[in-house]
């Protein structure tokens, strides 16, 4: 076995005998396929297969007990007339398009602060990161109390500033901002990605600009920010995809209320699928959300060449 | 440097020195202000944790008073014991740990094998598979929620742990990506030398590559453990028997039943929060490393 392979390798180097080369190539191809097969099988079983099956489900009326019934495009039609679907989509879009930019700005500001040469940087970094590893259910349970209108610490704090207590989780206009505020608490991962990005901005570039008399502000806008755009772009794409799929906080804290103000898409899909057992409609709603996310992802990639700066080489 | 250019007068140089001195004073002041800002932010980030811990050691009478009593006078550790009389939290914790270990082992083993196939074996499909991995990372998982439920229902897996850990053994795109990024930093000469010695791919992976991938393996294991421990939606969908609940399901159940007893709910939250925090402090280095590696996707 050993010698054979060795001579095979030697053969490829010295005498280019076609059959030998292709045999080696074929062997490597089969090994490559073998090694990646878990992923490929997983793709088929847990992504591609389910997605195709979901397309079929969209055309069915099925509660998982009686036999499924073909309804054509009625599930899709129903989305257009279902006011809750619209509400869920608008809520989700609001949470995403207001929340994600704020999350990125917060994470970026924290990263800039932590990028200074100061003592105790690691300790600060740890503290700012801690909320991100808190389980979603636990932070939802805790924030329910933090946002409580009576004895919640947020209102207690506002009281010291002379602001009247706010009914964060029971007054519709305040619930989504409260959710966004909560999401700002957990921006740790983005902060660390930005911090790594800031630290990889070449020192020579900054020094050269400093010698040329560029102010700190100008250096930030003309060097740091352009160099950070690839990392910002990545976080924006990933952040929007994740934010569109918010579920746990809404499920645990408000269960969609008050007056459907926190009825987000995944929560509505969950209800249709696992509470009303309307699998066809839940599949249709999933496809709607999927398409919305993919469209916004595609738009971002389209727009990226206008603002994302990639170093050549 | 400027001397060679002859034009700038010496006074200019002195002026620059003076500016430098005042700058160092300026940096001192700005650093002081920075520390104040960082501390204020740090307190803001920590307040929820402090409040959970303090509330979990109080009696209702101590909670519903204003201003807040941050350090309870007579901490009631009995609150924690009381929890276990209502729901089997020790059981939930064990279930969570069991699932986390199963999922993490699957994630580590399968992602390593697949990443090796993409990054160390030279074959035609590797580029395509890598593109597929990256594309999968951007796919919103919600699309598979309903159809996989039907699939698992048909397999008779609803009500078991299988739907939660079996998919992990097929590798997750994110972990494969991380592992591939890491493996790319290992010099190819190492494999080639082993190849010439006649080692098979399995042996190269096991004896050459894996020993060099320690940090990446640790990072993936950590993320997988944390992801599994923190997950809520899938356990909520697939697990109905209370004795099989994970800690997150247990906490949600407890909050539903005993929501008015803030002190007990906060004690239950502490039980859920503590394991990941301990893990974080033990292995902080790998966390930071992993997140930084993931951020490199943007480069």
Question: B70-92, pLDDT tens digit by residue?
Answer: 888 888 999 999 999 999 999 99
Residue B209: other Cβ atoms inside 10 A: 22
Which one of B59, B143, B172, B222 makes the best mutation probe of the A interface by having the most chain A beta carbons within 10 Å? B143
CA distance linking residue A306 with residue B172, whole number of Å:
32
Question: pLDDT per residue over A56-87, tens digit each?
Answer: 999 999 998 889 999 999 999 999 999 999 99
Query: In this model, does residue B6 exceed pLDDT 50?
Result: no
Which residues, other chains included, contact B8 with Cβ-Cβ below 8 Å and sequence gap of 6+? B2
CA distance linking residue B57 with residue B52, whole number of Å:
9
> What separation, in Å, do the N-terminal and C-terminal C-alpha atoms of chain A show?
42
Going by pLDDT thresholds of 50, 70 and 90, the confidence category of residue B295 is low
Residue B101: other Cβ atoms inside 10 A: 15
Instruction: Provide φ and ψ at A70, rounded to 5°.
Output: -75, 125
CA distance linking residue A51 with residue A239, whole number of Å:
23
Which residues of chain A make contact with B167, given a CB cutoff of 8 A?
42, 45-46
Same domain, B274 and B142: yes
Same domain, B34 and B104: no
pLDDT given at position B289: 77
Q: CA dist B175 to A10, A206, B5, B180, Å? A: 36, 34, 55, 8
pLDDT given at position B20: 59
Whether residues A230 and B299 touch (CB distance < 8 A) is answered with yes
Residue whose pair of structure tokens reads 């399968």 in the numeric block: B110
Which residues, other chains included, contact B290 with Cβ-Cβ below 8 Å and sequence gap of 6+? B178, B219, B220, B222, B223
Contacts 24+ apart (CB under 8 A), B207-213: B209/B116, B209/B120, B209/B183, B210/B112, B212/B186, B213/B112, B213/B179, B213/B182, B213/B183, B213/B186
**Angle at CA of residue A240, ends A237 and A245, nearest 5°:** 135
- pLDDT over 70 percentage in chain A: 93
Helix axes B10-55, A153-160, angle to 10 degrees: 130
Provide the β-strand partners of residue A70: A60
Q: B163 lies in a domain?
A: yes
Mean pLDDT (chain A, rounded): 90
Q: B293 lies in a domain?
A: yes
Residue A5: other Cβ atoms inside 10 A: 17
Provide the β-strand partners of residue B186: none
Query: In this model, does residue A218 exceed pLDDT 80?
Result: yes
B20 CB near a chain A CB, below 8 Å? no
A44 CB near a chain B CB, below 8 Å? no
For residue B182, give its domain range. 78-298
Query: In this model, does residue B205 exceed pLDDT 90?
Result: yes
pLDDT given at position B23: 66
Q: B12 or B65, which is more confident?
A: B65
Comparing C-alpha atoms, which of A184, A35, A125, A237 is closest to residue B294? A237
What is the topology classification, in CATH, of domain A77-307? Answer: MetI-like fold (1.10.3720)
CA distance linking residue B220 with residue B174, whole number of Å:
9
Same domain, B141 and B233: yes
Q: B53 lies in a domain?
A: no
pLDDT given at position B5: 40
Residues A132 and B273: beta-carbon distance below 8 Å: no
Same domain, B141 and B27: no
Going by pLDDT thresholds of 50, 70 and 90, the confidence category of residue A12 is very low
Residues A33 and B125: beta-carbon distance below 8 Å: yes
Q: B254 lies in a domain?
A: yes
CA distance linking residue B89 with residue B254, whole number of Å:
10
Instruction: Nearest by CB to A266, from B31, B142, B273: name it.
Output: B142
Q: What is the H or E stretch that residue A118 is in?
A: none
Chain B CA closest to residue A38: B170
Instruction: Nearest by CB to B248, from A5, A137, A286: name it.
Output: A137
Residue A215: other Cβ atoms inside 10 A: 10
Residues A209 and A287: beta-carbon distance below 8 Å: no
State the sign of the Cα–Cα–Cα–Cα dihedral A81, A85, A87, A89: negative
pLDDT given at position B51: 92
pLDDT given at position B60: 83
Quick one: average pLDDT of A212-216?
87
pLDDT given at position B17: 55
Going by pLDDT thresholds of 50, 70 and 90, the confidence category of residue A127 is very high
Query: In this model, does residue A2 exceed pLDDT 90?
Result: no
Comparing C-alpha atoms, which of A256, A291, A286 is closest to residue A273? A286
DSSP A196-254: HHHHTS-HHHHHHHHHTT--HHHHIIIIIHHHHHHHHHHHHHHHHHHHHT--HHHHHHT
- pLDDT over 90 percentage in chain A: 67
In chain B, the number of structural domains is 2
Going by pLDDT thresholds of 50, 70 and 90, the confidence category of residue A154 is very high
Q: B61 lies in a domain?
A: no
Same domain, B215 and B265: yes
Range with the lowest mean pLDDT among A199-208, B141-150, B237-246? A199-208
Angstroms from A173 CA to nearest CA on chain B: 24
Whether residues B132 and A43 touch (CB distance < 8 A) is answered with yes
Mean pLDDT (chain B, rounded): 88
Going by pLDDT thresholds of 50, 70 and 90, the confidence category of residue A11 is very low
Whether residues B149 and A247 touch (CB distance < 8 A) is answered with no
Comparing C-alpha atoms, which of B100, B113, B116 is closest to residue B222? B100
Query: In this model, does residue B286 exceed pLDDT 90?
Result: no
Query: In this model, does residue B296 exceed pLDDT 60?
Result: no
Residue A61: other Cβ atoms inside 10 A: 17
Residue A257: other Cβ atoms inside 10 A: 15
Whether residues A57 and B169 touch (CB distance < 8 A) is answered with no
CA distance linking residue B259 with residue B252, whole number of Å:
10
Which one of A7, A36, A47 makes the best mutation probe of the B interface by having the most chain B beta carbons within 10 Å? A36
Q: B122 lies in a domain?
A: yes
Going by pLDDT thresholds of 50, 70 and 90, the confidence category of residue A3 is very low
What's the alpha-carbon Rg for chain B, to the nearest Å? Answer: 27
* Residue range(s) in chain A whose domain bears CATH number 1.10.3720.10: 77-307
Residues A88 and A267: beta-carbon distance below 8 Å: yes
Question: pLDDT per residue over B120-142, tens digit each?
Answer: 999 999 999 999 999 999 999 99
The B residues from 108 to 127 touching A (CB cutoff 8 Å) are 110, 113-114, 116-118, 121-126
Q: B71 lies in a domain?
A: no
Angstroms from A2 CA to nearest CA on chain B: 5
Question: pLDDT per residue over A157-189, tens digit each?
Answer: 898 899 999 999 999 999 999 999 999 999 998
Which residues of chain A make contact with B118, given a CB cutoff of 8 A?
35-36
Q: B66 or A103, which is more confident?
A: A103
Whether residues A136 and B294 touch (CB distance < 8 A) is answered with no
A11 CB near a chain B CB, below 8 Å? no
pLDDT given at position A129: 92
CA distance linking residue A133 with residue A73, whole number of Å:
42
Residues A54 and A283: beta-carbon distance below 8 Å: yes
Q: How many CB pairs under 8 A join A and B?
A: 285
Same domain, B110 and B219: yes
Q: A313 or B51, which is more confident?
A: B51
Exposed e or buried b per residue across B271-284, where buried means at least 16 C-beta atoms within 10 angstroms of its C-beta: bbbebbeebbeebe
Instruction: Nearest by CB to B114, from A39, A45, A146: name it.
Output: A39
Which residues of chain B make contact with A1, given a CB cutoff of 8 A?
198
pLDDT given at position B4: 37
pLDDT given at position A286: 97
Q: B47 lies in a domain?
A: no
The B residues from 132 to 191 touching A (CB cutoff 8 Å) are 132-133, 136, 138-151, 153, 167, 169-171, 173, 176
Query: In this model, does residue A309 exceed pLDDT 90?
Result: no
Same domain, B200 and B292: yes
Question: pLDDT per residue over A182-200, tens digit each?
Answer: 999 999 989 988 998 898 8
For residue B67, cis peptide bond before it (omega within 30 degrees of 0): yes
Q: CA dist A41 to A109, B151, B152, B154, B244, Å? A: 42, 15, 16, 19, 29
Question: pLDDT per residue over A73-126, tens digit each?
Answer: 999 999 999 999 999 999 999 999 999 999 999 999 999 999 988 888 889 999
């Amino acid at each position: 076995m050993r010698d054979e392979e060795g001579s095979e390798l030697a053969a490829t180097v010295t005498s280019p005998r076609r059959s030998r080369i292709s045999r080696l190539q074929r062997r490597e191809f089969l090994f490559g396929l073998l090694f990646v097969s878990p992923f490929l099988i997983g793709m088929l079983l847990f992504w591609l297969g389910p997605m195709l099956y979901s397309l079929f489900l969209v055309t069915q009326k099925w509660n998982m007990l009686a036999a499924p019934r073909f309804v054509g495009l009625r599930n899709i039609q129903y989305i257009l007339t279902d006011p809750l679907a619209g509400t869920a989509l608008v809520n989700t879009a609001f949470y995403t398009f207001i929340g994600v930019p704020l999350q990125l700005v917060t994470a970026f500001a924290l990263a800039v602060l932590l990028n200074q040469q100061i003592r105790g940087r690691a300790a600060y970094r740890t503290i700012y990161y801690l909320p991100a590893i808190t389980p979603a259910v636990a932070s939802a349970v805790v924030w329910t109390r933090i946002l409580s209108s009576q004895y919640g610490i947020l209102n207690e704090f506002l009281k010291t500033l002379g602001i009247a207590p706010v009914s964060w989780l029971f007054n519709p206009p305040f619930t989504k901002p409260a959710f966004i505020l909560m999401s700002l608490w957990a921006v740790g991962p983005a902060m660390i990605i930005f911090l790594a990005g800031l630290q990889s901005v070449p020192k020579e570039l900054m020094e050269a600009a400093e010698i040329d008399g560029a102010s700190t502000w100008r250096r930030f806008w003309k060097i740091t920010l352009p160099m950070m755009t690839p990392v910002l772009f990545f976080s924006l794409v990933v952040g929007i995809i994740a934010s569109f799929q918010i579920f746990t906080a809404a499920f645990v804290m408000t269960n969609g209320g008050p007056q459907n103000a926190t009825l987000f898409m995944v929560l509505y899909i969950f209800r249709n699928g696992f509470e009303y057992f309307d699998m066809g409609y839940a599949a249709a709603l999933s496809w709607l959300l999927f398409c919305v996310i993919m469209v916004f992802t595609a738009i971002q990639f389209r727009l990226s060449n206008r603002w994302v700066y990639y170093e050549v080489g | 440097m400027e001397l060679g250019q002859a034009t700038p007068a010496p006074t200019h140089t002195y002026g620059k020195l003076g500016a430098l001195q005042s700058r160092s004073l300026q940096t001192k002041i700005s650093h002081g202000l920075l520390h104040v800002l960082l501390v204020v932010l740090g307190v803001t980030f920590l307040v929820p944790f402090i409040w959970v811990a303090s509330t979990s050691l109080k009696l209702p009478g101590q909670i519903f008073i204003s201003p807040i009593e941050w350090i309870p006078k007579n901490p009631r550790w009995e609150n924690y014991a009381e929890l276990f009389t209502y729901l089997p939290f020790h059981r939930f914790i064990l279930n969570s740990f069991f699932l986390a270990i199963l999922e993490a082992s699957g994630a580590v083993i399968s992602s390593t094998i697949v990443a090796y196939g993409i990054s160390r074996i030279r074959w035609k499909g590797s580029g395509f598979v890598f593109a597929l991995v990256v594309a999968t990372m951007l796919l919103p998982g919600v699309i598979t929620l309903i159809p996989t439920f039907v699939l698992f229902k048909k397999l008779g897996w609803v009500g078991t742990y299988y739907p939660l850990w079996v998919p992990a053994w097929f590798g997750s795109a994110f972990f494969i990506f991380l592992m591939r990024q890491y493996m790319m930093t290992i010099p190819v000469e190492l494999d080639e030398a082993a190849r010439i010695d006649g080692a098979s791919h399995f042996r190269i992976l096991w004896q050459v590559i894996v020993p060099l991938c320690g940090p990446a393996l640790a990072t993936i294991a950590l993320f997988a453990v944390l992801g599994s421990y923190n997950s809520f939606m899938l356990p909520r969908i697939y697990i109905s028997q209370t004795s099989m609940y994970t800690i997150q399901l247990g906490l949600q159940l407890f909050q539903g039943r005993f929501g008015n007893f803030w002190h007990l709910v906060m004690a239950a939250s502490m039980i859920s929060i503590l394991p990941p925090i301990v893990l974080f402090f033990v292995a902080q280095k790998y966390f930071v490393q992993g997140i930084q590696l993931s951020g490199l996707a943007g480069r």
